Amino acid sequence: SLAARVHALVGTDLELNLKVQAMPVDTSVFRSQTQSASARSHIVLGVGRLVPIKGFDLLVLALGGLAAQLRPSLVLLGEGPERARLASLAHRVGVRLQMPGMVSPTAVRGWMQQAAVCVVPSRVLPSGRSEGAPLVLREALAVGVPVIATVPLYKVQPPTEATPVAADVGSVRAALSKILRS
């Protein structure tokens, strides 16, 4: 429990009444816009820091395994130490990749409104560290873009309409294929 972790850090029993809440979605920016699926472009979107826990390499490999004529472009919004490796991997597997870098929340919303799907391919690291309830997942759902997520969706309140998948290339590829064909 959180109280036990605090006790371990400070070494004393404290009367704690803590409540952990997810970061709120800025609904003045991330709101649903009426847009048909056919109006969305043929891109897959990933948003977040370019680090291993985000699992963007799984997404690149999943897209690279789709038939070339069905393969959409991938847009990754964010910066981080994995940038060069992801660009190289995308080139190697034939994925058209755009990495605009860190952009404003308004620009993120604009990309979400264009995307065929937003993918949150988070993974558990060898240390056991995992993401809680990624804010981008809730933002994408607020905008109304289809979402594929590898995080345990029970961590997202309220329950979502995202497509949950295992954090492996084959599962992400199968979910992408299904959404992109619909």
Indicate if the pLDDT at residue 75 is higher than 80. Answer: yes
Among 72, 77, 74, CA closest to 177 = 72
Rounded to whole angstroms, how far apart are CA atoms 11 and 130?
A: 26
Distance of CA 86 to the CA centre of its chain: 15
pLDDT at 38 (0 to 100): 55
Segment among 45-59, 92-106, 120-134, 167-181 with least mean pLDDT: 120-134
pLDDT at 23 (0 to 100): 72
Contacts for 173-176 with beta carbons within 8 Å, 24 or more apart? 173/62, 173/63, 173/65, 173/66, 175/148, 176/44, 176/62, 176/63, 176/66, 176/117, 176/119, 176/148
**Model confidence band, residue 6 (pLDDT cutoffs 50, 70, 90):** low
- Compute the average pLDDT of residues 56-81: 96
List, for residues 146-164, the tens digit of each pLDDT value: 999 986 654 555 556 778 8
Among 25, 13, 115, CA closest to 72 = 115
Indicate if the pLDDT at residue 36 is higher than 60. Answer: no
pLDDT at 45 (0 to 100): 97
Please name the residues in contact with 166: beta carbons below 8 A apart, sequence gap of 6 or more.
150
- Compute the average pLDDT of residues 23-28: 79
- Compute the average pLDDT of residues 71-100: 97
List, for residues 86-144, the tens digit of each pLDDT value: 999 999 999 999 999 999 999 999 999 999 999 999 998 899 888 877 889 889 989 99
Mean of all residue pLDDT scores within the chain: 85
Three-class secondary structure assignment of 63-93: HHCCCCCCCCEEEEECCCCCHHHHHHHHHHH
